[in-house]
């Protein structure tokens, strides 16, 4: 009979051991533990322990979003019971093979699901593409306004007022970095990391100015980014939903590791007495 309980700092060794099995899949959980620990009002972790008292699965609550990871069989119904008691719950994310075991037991009303391909690159030896990367530069805080100018030209990118402060915070806190190629003073292509932790990093913001597409600039940014982080022994991962983009990533050495699903739920209507 398994047992589910809240995790504390005393569980950290067992927790890190379990998460280290799959650093790419567990990028968000690893990063949130490193950044915020086990004792925050907006973050809580639960563990599922087997009959031998070995930790076999983890459930993380970060604000109103839950992410689960399990190395094998786990108490999916027990995790769902934890979620069902939370009136703030709005999202269950994670590798599809894990979230699909929890979903049937969730009592909240599912609003929509988005699925993305999840890919990783874990070895410099796999880096393909014979590309010259001498033009690629690592951005500093002073480059952020020019990065924003490029992003504003990309239709798929969300126009978010907090982007600039978020980028600056990421660079200063070393949880993010941005690589770019410029022509004159204009940045024409870039690729970024986010959610960097001691074991892994997520690649985001891969883009090229519409007037400079299909010249290999984004691939050169990606190659330099991948090379630098893999030399730091960080596993790289990314989401994509576009097969064309997927083929570029695979030429660089990325491999699909599953589907990542984001299940959005309607907020619970609480009765007013």
Q: Is residue 115 part of a domain?
A: no
Packed helices 144-151 and 163-173: angle between N→C axes, nearest 10 degrees: 130
Q: Is residue 270 part of a domain?
A: no
Packed helices 243-251 and 217-231: angle between N→C axes, nearest 10 degrees: 50
Cα–Cα distance, 233 to 220 (Å, whole number): 20
Whether residues 126 and 68 share a domain: the answer is no
Q: Is residue 72 part of a domain?
A: yes
Whether residues 29 and 126 share a domain: the answer is no
Whether residues 8 and 88 share a domain: the answer is yes
Q: Is residue 240 part of a domain?
A: yes
Q: Output the pLDDT for position 272.
A: 45
Average pLDDT over all residues of the chain: 92
Please write the tens of the pLDDT for every residue from 78-113.
999 999 999 999 999 999 999 999 999 999 999 999
Whether residues 145 and 221 share a domain: the answer is yes
Cα–Cα distance, 252 to 249 (Å, whole number): 5
Q: Is residue 15 part of a domain?
A: yes
**222-235 average pLDDT score:** 93
Please write the tens of the pLDDT for every residue from 155-194.
888 878 888 999 999 999 999 999 999 999 999 999 999 9
Q: Output the pLDDT for position 28.
A: 93
Of 65, 83, 108, which closes a domain?
A: 108
Whether residues 90 and 131 share a domain: the answer is no
**Domain limits at 227?**
121-257
Whether residues 145 and 199 share a domain: the answer is yes
pLDDT at 152 over 60: yes
Burial pattern 222-258, b for ≥16 Cβ within 10 A else e, equals: bbbbbebbbeeebbbbbbbeeeebbebbeebbbeebb
Whether residues 208 and 242 share a domain: the answer is yes
> In which band, very low, low, confident or very high, does the pLDDT at 263 lie, cut at 50, 70 and 90?
very high
Q: Are 138 and 104 in contact (CB under 8 A)?
A: no
Q: Is residue 157 part of a domain?
A: yes
Domain count of the chain? Answer: 2
pLDDT at 271 over 50: no
Closest by Cα among 52, 14, 48 to 33: 14
Whether residues 134 and 98 share a domain: the answer is no
Burial of residue 120 (CB within 10 Å: 0-12, 13-18, 19+) is buried
Closest by Cα among 234, 144, 235, 155 to 190: 144
Whether residues 27 and 147 share a domain: the answer is no
Cα–Cα distance, 215 to 98 (Å, whole number): 39
- The CATH number covering residue 161 comes to 3.40.630.30
Residue count of the chain: 273
Whether residues 103 and 132 share a domain: the answer is no
Q: Strand 91-95 relative to strand 65-70: parallel, antiparallel, unpaired?
A: parallel
Whether residues 159 and 202 share a domain: the answer is yes
Whether residues 53 and 141 share a domain: the answer is no
Tokens coding 235: 């596993």
């Amino acid at each position: 009979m398994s047992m589910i309980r809240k995790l504390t700092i005393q569980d950290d060794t067992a927790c890190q051991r379990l998460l280290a099995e799959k650093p790419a899949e567990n990028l968000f959980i690893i990063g949130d533990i490193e950044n915020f620990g086990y004792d925050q009002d907006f973050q809580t972790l639960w563990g599922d322990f087997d009959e031998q008292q070995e930790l076999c699965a983890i459930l993380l609550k970060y604000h109103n979003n839950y992410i689960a990871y399990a190395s094998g069989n786990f108490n999916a119904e027990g995790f769902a019971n934890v979620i069902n008691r939370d009136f703030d719950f709005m999202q269950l994310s994670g590798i599809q093979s894990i979230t699909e075991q929890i979903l049937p037991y969730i009592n909240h009303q599912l609003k929509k699901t988005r699925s993305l391909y999840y890919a990783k690159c874990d070895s410099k030896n796999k880096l393909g593409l014979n590309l010259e990367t001498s033009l690629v530069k690592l951005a500093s805080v002073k480059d952020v306004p020019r990065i924003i100018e490029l992003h504003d030209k990309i239709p798929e990118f969300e126009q978010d007022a907090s982007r600039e402060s978020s980028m600056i915070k990421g660079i200063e806190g070393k949880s993010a970095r941005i690589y770019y190629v410029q022509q004159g003073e204009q940045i024409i292509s870039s690729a970024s990391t986010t959610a960097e932790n001691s074991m892994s990093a997520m690649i985001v913001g891969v883009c090229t100015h519409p007037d400079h597409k299909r010249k290999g600039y984004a691939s050169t940014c990606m190659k330099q980014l991948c090379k630098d982080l893999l030399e730091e022994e960080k596993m790289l991962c990314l989401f994509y939903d576009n097969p064309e983009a997927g083929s570029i990533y695979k030429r660089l050495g990325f491999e699909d590791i599953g589907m990542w699903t984001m299940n959005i739920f309607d907020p619970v209507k609480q009765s007013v007495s």
